[in-house]
Amino acid sequence: MQAVAALMRRPPPLPAYTRSKRAGGGTMSYELLIEQREPIDGWTVCTICLNLDRTTAVQRKRWQCTDCGVDSSNGSQRTLKDYLTENSSETIESNLAQWSNVKGARAAYKMLRSARYKCLLTLGKRLRAEPAGP
Ligand SMILES: [Zn+2]
């Protein structure tokens, strides 16, 4: 819930929620990975807004989220593979459930972040070779 609290204090700028023309906005990056057009190695996930970034700069501590603007100073980013290794499907599902119950978030952002959780769930299951579920 810490991430959610941080989010409520400082919501990311509005243009990021609307389906922008920017590459990497919305869930485009996730679509590339879910369709297996890109390997998950070399991607970084922002644990605040769940934006994906095609970078491994996280390892060099010079990363900043292009979506919500947090930087690596408070450890708010993980490589995608680390994130999926550290967070089980159960964890991601419960995060998604908590997020769905958050009051006061903008509807568009709420939908976007929920969609990102679902993508992470799919990618995590694939990584662990779990059945895709119902
Ligand atoms: Zn972010």
pLDDT tens readout for residues 8-60: 555 555 444 444 444 445 788 999 999 999 999 999 999 999 999 998 777 66
Report the alpha-carbon distance of residue 59 to residue 93 in Å, rounded. Answer: 27
**Spans of all domains in the chain:** 2-12+19-126
Instruction: Report the 10 Å Cβ neighbour count for 63.
Output: 20
In angstroms, what is the span from residue 25 Cα to ligand 1's centroid? Answer: 11
In angstroms, what is the span from residue 52 Cα to ligand 1's centroid? Answer: 8
In angstroms, what is the span from residue 90 Cα to ligand 1's centroid? Answer: 22
Locate tokens 């994906």: which residue? 52
Which pLDDT score is estimated for 72? 82
Which pLDDT score is estimated for 74? 79
In angstroms, what is the span from residue 5 Cα to ligand 1's centroid? Answer: 14
Which pLDDT score is estimated for 47? 94
In angstroms, what is the span from residue 8 Cα to ligand 1's centroid? Answer: 13
pTM value is: 0.76
Q: Average pLDDT over the chain, rounded to whole?
A: 83
Half-sphere exposure of residue 118: CA atoms within 13 angstroms, side-chain side: 11
Total count of residues recorded for the chain: 134
Answer yes or no: is pLDDT of 102 > 60: yes
Which pLDDT score is estimated for 66? 86
Residue 111, C-beta contacts closer than 8 angstroms, at least 6 positions apart: none
Which pLDDT score is estimated for 134? 54
Percent of the chain's residues with pLDDT above 70: 78
Which pLDDT score is estimated for 7? 56
